[in-house]
Structure 1
Amino acid sequence: MTIHQLSSQQIQPHIENAETIFNAAQPVSNLLSLQPRLASALARFCPQNRQHFDPRFMLIKSSESHLLFSLYHQAVKRVLPSDNDLVGYTYHINNNKIILRKSQNRQENFGTNDNCLYAQWFDSEMLFGCVRHPEGEEIKLQTGLVHNANGGILILGLRTLLNKPELWFKLKSMVIKGEFNWLSGDDNTPLPYNVPSLPLDLRIMLIGDRLSLSDLQEFDPEFYQSSLYAEFENELLWKSDHELATWAGYLKFIQQSQQLPELTSSAYFPILKAAVRHTEDQQYLPLSPDWIYGLLTNAAQLAVDKIDQHCIEQALQQKQWRESYLIDRFKHEIFSNMITIDTQGEIIGQINGLSVIEYPGYPHAIGQPARLSGLVHFGDGEFIDIERKSELAGNLHSKGMMIMQAFITAEFALYNQLPFSVSLVFEQSYNEIDGDSASLAGLCVLISALAMQPIDQQVAVTGSVDQFGHVQAIGGVNEKIESFFAVCQHRGLTGQQGVIIPSANQSHLCLNDDIVMAVTNKQFHIWTVEHVAEALYLLTGIPYKDNNHALNLYHMVQSRIQQALLQDKRPTSNHWLTRLFKR
């Protein structure tokens, strides 16, 4: 067996020399220092010597936040050639006659004032400018973003363009043609005066998330063939102290660029722990400037001079408290026995599963124990998923139930129909559920009911299984463990309580200090398993399939199935009708 009981060092990131690494780290130069792919694409988009065939559009998969836009702007300005040599054109207006001429110096350029501008939100007038003709006055040409950035790069939010597709197609056409055509505010009314077209030398960077990029690809699929694509990588793979030092330099860059108080070395470890918690993986650290900025600004409000360990920990605690109303409500329902969760004794066909609930508008998934029960009775082999029957289950949940059925059929070599019917249900579940993370718990319940062996209610289970019984990784493992621990802690830790998780989820653990202390004191346990047989042994104390033991769950289930099949085939010779016909 590959059952492992985890130590306190294994359920949180463990770095002995964090403060030394932080002190030696130097701030990185810009946002793209940890984005080699994106930096390479940007260098291709902004060459020192431009050619007519260089791409004019660049797509970046990224969140659309003001902070990120400003950091993108800084990064682009670093690689662009100096804008001192920008030359362009100028309009001369006399008696409502408009003439376009090439400008002699930058001061005369029409609208051009920077080689890189950005905007998250904009409308037609902000983007393209407009032609104004006040009564009794001469025509006035009002500049837009395309004029102000002519000769350089314009960074735009993709979400706004998708909300106004006509702006996108007009902008795309003008950039490709290299010519800006003045437009009327009303498409049905032409301009009253002839305004000469303005030569346009503009490159466009579009910033959008995965959904926005998908929408763009749907209604303009050809665009992807002629544009440069790159992604902002939200996480940094951490393999050695070198990556930790680089990430520390990234923290210092965000802190300095946003003029936040200086970080002390003692703040580094609690930031690291919060970072692992955010990525849900001990091997990855977040690169999201918004997450780092949010954490540091909350801590800065508590700092006297510098941000230290106390500031970070207090900021995290206050944030957790502010956002914990729904979590406290769930706990109260369990503590007051409105939701039944057994944490003592042994019961046949009942197990404590672990789930997470996501509420619209709530920023986090909420962990919640869930009582899963299964009943086995004589029948025609039907697997009754009550959640599915009542239309409260999604497709992934149904997939998990069907995998369980396939495992049972193959494992016990059932050439005939299973002589039992099985019903599975999440007790006291009144909302829609989805996901396959309960399939391990469901399979354990099913085998417990078939073997008629009880399950220890002091242990909770999460994990999905494949058709061969191998346990697979799931999401929200920290929230799931903490939710069951909170129930056990409220009722009193016995030293026998714990959770079973997939081995693949061990690297995702970053649990709170209460659990770390309980695991250290052997008051609470966390086991990792790779196969359903290992989980069943922990839950029942009986091996699942072991030839060295006469007593095992596999033989118990086989024996019960064979007895049921024989009983079903046995002639009913004692029936009074049978005796009557024999006469």
Structure 2
Amino acid sequence: LFIDNRDTGGAPVVVEPNPTYYNLVGRVEHENRMGMITTDFTMIRSGALHRANGGYLILQANDVLLNLQSWEALKRVLKTREIRIETIGEQYALLAMTTLKPEPIPLDVKVILIGNPLLYQLLYRYDEDFRKLFKVKADFDTAMERSVENIAKMANFISNHCRREGLKHFDRSGVARVMEYSSRLADHQEKLTTCFNDIVEILYEADAWAEMEGARYVSKSHVEKAVKEKIFRSDKYEKKLLELVEEGQILLDLSGEKVGQINGLAVLNLGDYIFGRPSRITASTFLGRRGIVNIERESKMSGRIHDKGVMIISGYLGQKYAQKTPLTLSASICFEQSYEGVDGDSASSTELYALLSSLSGVPIKQN
């Protein structure tokens, strides 16, 4: 018996975590008998495509692409609609080894590839077979509306996961705190994240804190403790920057008024942790015809988006103040004590305020 799906309630759904060539299309095994390599029909092993025949096969796109032979074999069976069990070594060996060659098996399967948008775009653009074989795209958002219905579904997800994994159940305050954390991950008060792995991590950690306290249920305090400890494991660089500010090594004026000077906030993304770094932005204006000089760009520490933002400021000043006469102006904009480079256009309005302050002589409050 090659494949037995009698106990399957419907169409088979197979998830292959290790999609190597042989795990997908099967193989013919061999054994050594007194120095001779032998095989027979009882040593033919099925692959994930055989087990999913008549149903669905779910694969991680990145795992398949890391095995080049797997990707080519997957495309071949989808194009020919049949599975051939072959040995990879025959394609590269100088001498072909005599072995069993099972008859091809007709294939009727739906393959679901899971991957990120960048991977999809690359495959769609550079692999012609991909766009022919995988025609249906389902693009899942990383956030959903914070509606009553979705909150109830999230609460059910928490309850089901706790029941399945043997965790302590969450009380109403604990569930509410998880919802707040979900909105924070979504960066929106009216949305919830759909990155459930991040939610599951907090469930496990909150359960551990409740277990240490001997609590029957996981409450708000346990979730807050889990979130706090998660931040503690990742906020080393943020604390170091705050120390530099407190020690006066990073110069900031947080009181009074200054001309041509304003405080901005640069966002640093460390992957699993994002925080803001305060920066002093200064603008100097003087007679000349050079226009606005982006010091970060001149020192090759500015990204293209930030350069575009500075050019937009130049266009705004020209449109606003140079309709009748040419704008005779030289100005410079600088992020002080910035050594890691600057990109993005979120600080464009802040830079404009500093420029207008320098031009007019009107001071800006530093708080």
TM-score, with normalisation over the residues of structure 2? 0.88
Query: CA separation in 2, counterparts of 1:185 and 1:224?
Result: 26
Report SS of the residue matched to 2:92.
coil
Match for 1:258: what amino acid? Answer: E
Runs of 5+ consecutive residues of structure 1 not aligned to the other structure = 1-107, 459-583
2:23 is equivalent to residue 126 of structure 1: yes
In 2, are the aligned partners of 1:112 and 1:149 still within 8 Å (CA)?
Answer: no
Deviation at 1:281, TM superposition (A): 0.6
Report SS of the residue matched to 1:299.
helix
Report SS of the residue matched to 1:422.
strand
Match for 2:126: what amino acid? Answer: F
Deviation at 1:200, TM superposition (A): 2.7
Which of the numbers 331, 338, 349 marks the counterpart of 2:249?
A: 338
2:114 is equivalent to residue 203 of structure 1: no
After superposition, the Cα gap between the structure-2 partners of 1:120 and 1:430, relative to the gap in structure 1 and judged at 3 Å, is: same
2:266 is equivalent to residue 355 of structure 1: yes
In 2, are the aligned partners of 1:358 and 1:364 still within 8 Å (CA)?
Answer: yes
Report SS of the residue matched to 2:15.
strand
Corresponding residue number in structure 1 for 2:48: 145
In 2, are the aligned partners of 1:384 and 1:423 still within 8 Å (CA)?
Answer: yes
Corresponding residue number in structure 1 for 2:60: 157
Higher RCO (CA 8 Å, separation ≥ 6 residues): 1
In 2, are the aligned partners of 1:155 and 1:207 still within 8 Å (CA)?
Answer: yes
Report SS of the residue matched to 2:209.
coil
Deviation at 1:198, TM superposition (A): 2.4
Query: CA separation in 2, counterparts of 1:233 and 1:424?
Result: 38
In 2, are the aligned partners of 1:112 and 1:147 still within 8 Å (CA)?
Answer: no
Match for 1:266: what amino acid? Answer: S
After superposition, the Cα gap between the structure-2 partners of 1:288 and 1:254, relative to the gap in structure 1 and judged at 3 Å, is: farther
In 2, are the aligned partners of 1:254 and 1:289 still within 8 Å (CA)?
Answer: no
Match for 2:114: what amino acid? Answer: I
Deviation at 1:238, TM superposition (A): 2.4
Query: CA separation in 2, counterparts of 1:111 and 1:170?
Result: 24
Which of the numbers 194, 211, 223 marks the counterpart of 1:312?
A: 223
Q: After superposition, what is the alpha-carbon deviation per residue over 1:235-282, rounded to whole angstroms, capped at 9, x for unaligned? A: 22124x344333323333333343322110111332222111111111
2:154 is equivalent to residue 269 of structure 1: no
Match for 1:215: what amino acid? Answer: L
Match for 2:87: what amino acid? Answer: S
Note the 1:181-192 alignment, pairs <5 A: 181-186=84-89, 187-189=91-93, 190=96, 192=98
Note the 1:134-533 alignment, pairs <5 A: 134-136=31-33, 137-139=38-40, 140-186=43-89, 187-189=91-93, 190=96, 192-193=98-99, 194-226=101-133, 227-239=135-147, 241-303=148-210, 304-359=215-270, 362-458=271-367
Match for 2:22: what amino acid? Answer: E
TM-score, with normalisation over the residues of structure 1? 0.57
In 2, are the aligned partners of 1:255 and 1:293 still within 8 Å (CA)?
Answer: no
Report SS of the residue matched to 1:252.
helix
In 2, are the aligned partners of 1:175 and 1:203 still within 8 Å (CA)?
Answer: no
Query: CA separation in 1, counterparts of 2:341 and 2:29?
Result: 56
Query: CA separation in 2, counterparts of 1:436 and 1:380?
Result: 24
Q: Number of aligned pairs?
A: 348
Deviation at 1:221, TM superposition (A): 3.5
Query: CA separation in 2, counterparts of 1:413 and 1:275?
Result: 49
Deviation at 1:219, TM superposition (A): 3.0
Report SS of the residue matched to 1:383.
strand
Query: CA separation in 2, counterparts of 1:455 and 1:364?
Result: 32
**Identical amino acids, percent of aligned pairs:** 26
Query: CA separation in 2, counterparts of 1:135 and 1:419?
Result: 88
Deviation at 1:222, TM superposition (A): 4.7
In 2, are the aligned partners of 1:392 and 1:431 still within 8 Å (CA)?
Answer: yes
Poorly superposed stretches of 4+, deviation over 6 Å: none
Moved more, 261-270 or 341-350: 261-270
Runs of 5+ consecutive residues of structure 2 not aligned to the other structure = none
> Which structure: larger Rg?
1
Query: CA separation in 1, counterparts of 2:264 and 2:21?
Result: 54
In 2, are the aligned partners of 1:381 and 1:417 still within 8 Å (CA)?
Answer: no
After superposition, the Cα gap between the structure-2 partners of 1:235 and 1:252, relative to the gap in structure 1 and judged at 3 Å, is: farther
Moved more, 209-218 or 134-143: 134-143
Q: CA RMSD in A?
A: 2.1
Deviation at 1:345, TM superposition (A): 1.4
Query: CA separation in 2, counterparts of 1:265 and 1:143?
Result: 48
Corresponding residue number in structure 2 for 1:519: none
After superposition, the Cα gap between the structure-2 partners of 1:211 and 1:249, relative to the gap in structure 1 and judged at 3 Å, is: same
Deviation at 1:375, TM superposition (A): 0.6
In 2, are the aligned partners of 1:130 and 1:182 still within 8 Å (CA)?
Answer: yes
Deviation at 1:129, TM superposition (A): 2.3
After superposition, the Cα gap between the structure-2 partners of 1:407 and 1:443, relative to the gap in structure 1 and judged at 3 Å, is: same
Match for 2:283: what amino acid? Answer: G
In 1, are the aligned partners of 2:151 and 2:179 still within 8 Å (CA)?
Answer: no
Query: CA separation in 1, counterparts of 2:92 and 2:25?
Result: 17
Query: CA separation in 2, counterparts of 1:436 and 1:111?
Result: 59
Deviation at 1:295, TM superposition (A): 1.1
Match for 1:118: what amino acid? Answer: V
Deviation at 1:332, TM superposition (A): 0.5
Match for 1:453: what amino acid? Answer: V
